[in-house]
Each structure stands twice: as C-alpha cells, then as structure tokens.
Amino acid sequence: MLISALGFSLMQLCVKFLDHLPVPELVLFRSIVSIVVSWIYLKQVRVNPLGNNRKILLLRGIFGTIALSLFFFTLQNLPISTATTIQYLSPVFTALFAMWILKEPVKPVQWIFFGLALLGIGVIKGFDDDVTYLYLFAGVISAMFAGLAYNCIRMLKDTDHPVVIVMYFPLVAIPVMSVLSIFDWVTPIGWDWLILLLMGLFTQIAQVFMTRAWQADKASKIASLKYIGIFFALSMDYFIFGTSFGIMTFVGIALVLSGVVMNLRVK
C-alpha cells in the first residue's frame, strides 16, 4: 500500500504537468502503457489475460475508467492535495456499496465517521475558492465509482490474478477514450512524451500494488497506509507549484482523513 501511495502521487504530479492535454487523451496514453505492460507480464507468467469472472472484470474496467477520468479532470483544475482529499471519500462509498453488493453490515459508529469525512469536504468547499461545485461534484462522483471498482476487486480476489484485474481498465478505456480523443486531440510535444510514459508506468505500479493490498486477507489493517499520499500531495503543491493553504483547508483535510481512517479501523 505504501508503494501504491507513492506511485499514485507521482502519477498525479505527471497529470498536473500535462494540464494542457485533454483528459481523454491522458487516460488513453495511460491505458496504452498499462495494457502493454500487463500483457507482457501475463504472457510471461502464463496467465490467461481475459481472466475468469469476465462480467465482474468488465464492470471493474467500466467503473475504473469513469473514476479515473473524473479524477484527472479534478487534478487538472484543483491543487493536487485538494483533488486527492476528495478522492479519499472512496472508502466511504466502498463501505456503503459493500452493504448492498457484499452484504457487509455497517456498524452504527461508522455512520458518524462517514459524516465526519463528508463534513471535511464541506469545510474544504466552504473555505477554498478554487473548489467550485463542478469540481466538487466531479470529485465526489469519481470517488463513488472508485468505491464500486474496489467492491469488484474484492469480488474477484479468489478468481483472478491482480494484473488481469488491472488490465481490464485499459481494455475498456482504450476504445472509449480513442473515440473521445478524436474530437479534442492535442499532439504532445517534447517532454510531454516522457511524462506520459512515466504517468503510465507509475499508475501501473500503483494499481498492481493497490490490488494486491486490497486482496490481502488483512487488507483492513494496512488500508490506512494509503492515506500517507496526502503528505506527498501537500509537499508537491507547496514545493513544486508554490500553492499555499488556509488553516481551514487543513482542518477539512484532517476531518476527511480522520473519518476515513477511523472507519477502516472499526472495520
């Protein structure tokens, strides 16, 4: 989970550097790198790339494509730490959807923690002028679909290899984003190509290790390590982009993290 958090943080930095390229194009390039790396690996270990539980694998690909596209949109328009914090609502949605999909009960105290996380988002929205309702809505919907994707991952833990699960994202994303990119294509130039490659590689590393962590028997005990990513994000915002934050933004971030981590510990 620590490797995954670092990989996602470096991916977010790449997306921020590429804010002049359209989101569908970024998702497309990220998917091309992912499918090539996944295919080569699965061939080497002699695992069927199409997997076993293909219906759930396809749903995981669809949900993941929607979640990542909206997350890239918020990353391009908000500070990395703000976009990341909103995305951290995904475990809340994971638990809520698990009630319906996996028939997992939610303890009464968890509703308090869910409310605490949502209150944190409200504080960030109220005291950060950069967070418009459009970006907030996009971020929350991204977290919601990420929650659905995580439930699919858990359903696949006994049937499919982690890299097969990861590969179904580009299998869905490439045809969809290829069509969308036709209408708003911007040709990358110079360093863009290297940053695009790194974005894909960092995401692949992060996805594989995240999938392995979520499939582990004791994932709930290490899941909170994912949120060390907020410290990476705040550092990048401050030292690379010169972004400064008011005290209430930090209060909002703290509320979100507290609600999410306490919920995980209760689980």
Q: How confident is the model at residue 258 (pLDDT cuts 50, 70, 90)?
A: confident
Domain ranges of the chain: 2-266
User: What per-residue confidence (pLDDT) applies to 27?
Assistant: 94
Q: How confident is the model at residue 180 (pLDDT cuts 50, 70, 90)?
A: very high
Residues 6+ apart with CB under 8 A from 125: 131, 133, 136
Residues 6+ apart with CB under 8 A from 204: 33, 34, 37, 38, 166
Both tokens of residue 41?
């690996």
Residue 54 backbone dihedrals phi, psi, to 5 degrees: -70, -30
The pTM for the full model equals: 0.86
> Which tens digit of pLDDT belongs to each residue from 209-228?
877 776 665 555 566 677 78
Q: Per-residue b/e over 155-168, b at no fewer than 16 CB within 10 Å?
A: bbeeebbbbbbbbb
User: What per-residue confidence (pLDDT) applies to 138?
Assistant: 94
